[in-house]
Amino acid sequence: MVNASENAHDVVAKLSYITPTSKFNRRYVAPGAEVNTGVYEDKDVLIRDARPLRQEITLEKNGFTLIDYITKV
């Protein structure tokens, strides 16, 4: 189990990961049917709010950056 975070914006979510025993992962899709050959399992994952670290995160160093986007919502 993932430890709880002190940051109110952090969340624990269940994400599906393919199991190490799945040798091949194929997805077949046809009208009315879908089949996966891989086996998946849910894992609890802590998703942290990176906004407090905004000044430390750069595209060059971390592979992404955080930007502000103002909406009317």
Q: How much is the pTM?
A: 0.55
Instruction: Kindly report, residue by residue over 8-27, the tens digit of the pLDDT.
Output: 889 999 999 999 988 888 99
**Bridge partners of 16?**
42
Domain ranges of the chain: 11-62
Structural Rg of the chain based on CA atoms: 18
Report CA dihedral (55, 56, 57, 60) to the nearest 10 degrees.
110
Element (H, E) at 57: none
Instruction: Kindly report, residue by residue over 33-67, the tens digit of the pLDDT.
Output: 999 899 999 999 999 998 888 999 999 999 999 98
